[in-house]
Structure 1
Amino acid sequence: MNIDTAICMKSSTPFAEVSKVSFFEGKEEEILFSTHTIFRINRIERIPDEHTDRLWQVNLTLAGNQDDDFSKLTAHLREKLNWAKGWPQLGSILIQLGEPAKAEHLYQILIETAPSDKARGGYNHMLGMVYNRLGEYSKAITFYERALDIKEKTVPQNLPDLAGSYNNIGNVYGNMGEYSKALSSHERSLEIDRKALPPNHPDLASDYNNIGSVYYNMGEYSKALSSYERSLEIKKIALPPNHPDLATSYNNIGLVYDNMGEYSKALSSYERSLEIQNIALPPNHPDLAASYNNIGLVYDNMGEYSKALSSY
């Protein structure tokens, strides 16, 4: 572990060297950090161990409040979760943690006790998200449209909240294979966001990405590529440089080039996606496996079978 004293002087995170008062006094170095301390992971490497072969060393550097990447990520997360407090925010976090069934139970209770129509609309929206994650698409459409109906009566027109509803309805139609309906919803979302948001807002990147996905599924690869590249341009400005959403954009662009038979461009995009994932994700994350598989498929299509086998 590395601790930069220059960072420490500017940081609001307290810590103390406690080796002299430790039970193991003089035998090891011990530093006590406060609970909200943030570290940058430099590298993770296996430690040889003849007994279990399960030991890993994680090399960390203390990250202060002045760290640019940390500041950007914190601002992004605050904005992403800013719509809700308390129990509603917990439901949103449960969805992001992959626990939609628990979130469903919570939002059903919240709808019954909602203090206003506006709150009820928000909870219906989140239930739509839950059912989409659970693959119950007809229920998802029902709750999203119910939320949209409430929002249209309770909030000003062209507010980003309305765009979010159209966007999510489009995602469900896309999952159902109803691409014309999906495209119409995503384009309505983009229309609202372009009027309501700054030109490099992350929600615009999401709109362009979703439109690109619809065109990709319809086999209109040039239109898909154009939308994916516009999404990536915005993400490069709006997000930290190694945010997983950037990896998603590079992966999507790689998929388009792959289907267009432009394998060298596809390979370049997949490798850039993998490079970001290796920094941003845990070493055994499923997205890493998907990236290696995509790289293997490209090498396979290029006839470089030994490289394909290595990636597979």
Structure 2
Amino acid sequence: MEFHHTTVLLHEMIDSVLTDPHGVYVDCTLGGGGHSMALSERLEEDALVIGVDQDQEAIDAASERLKGTGCRHLFVRDNFSHISSILDSLDIEKVDGFIFDLGVSSHQLDDGERGFSYMNNGKLDMRMDQRNPLTAYEIVNTYDEDDLTRIIREYGEERWARRIAQFIVNFRNEKPIETTDDLVRVIKAAIPAHARRNGPHPAKRTFQAIRIEVNNELGILKDTMEACVGHLKVGGRLGVITFQSLEDRIIKNTFREMERDCICPPDLPVCVCHHHRTVKSLGKAIKPSDREVEENPRARSAVLRVVEKV
């Protein structure tokens, strides 16, 4: 399947992150290379763009797409949580900008064989990195009811989490839940009819929750943001696009903490944390225009936040 991904908030991201046309930039979620392509077109020949992705299909597609662009490129197959070791291996200490476009790509959603989507049938997989031993199949068929409930409630913000977990366990006691269609049927059976009439697809929240668990998407965000700021030059920028409230809350709170000079409890008479401000926020969060949402409905929930190293 040809790699296809519609890049969200493309120009807003590049306008926000680009500071030096001769600089070094890291696209930590390379995907199909949309942001890297737009960035490369505005950089000089001596500039460097490092593309990081854990999905080999994404790296292959992006490297092909970026052939012939003016600046230098390096591609690394790894998880962005390893950004410090990635830069160390390239003998790069400081960079001018980081780009993050979090969540699942359009290609991953549309490729039924990857098992990400409740709209396309395929084996339960959901791995962004095919080397990851943990799959959605393992979670759905081996996690106990309490763990399933916790994941679906916390990561999916699903009010019917307990009931869905019960139905999953009951169903798999008869036979394994092997495909996305199997899981959708179980979820639809678990959610009462009146609750399925309005709102998003009944499986949307549960699929999101399982995908987050498979890829540890939330657990790595705070530490990664702090590591990136540590590698930014003064005046360098970090831009992050999120697509759901849990991600955005972590990014917003992490940036807010890094903007503060003191993070001691307010009742302490003197500062004992010795925390110093490392970034400043560049304006309010940016959301897609009505036109972009009309052309690409998946952009509807996107939020871009940008900070600058001080």
TM-score of the superposed pair, with normalisation by structure 1? 0.26
Instruction: Name whichever structure is richer in strand by fraction.
Output: 2
TM-score (norm 2): 0.26
Q: Which has the higher contact order (CA 8 A, sep 6+)?
A: 2
Larger fraction in helix:
1
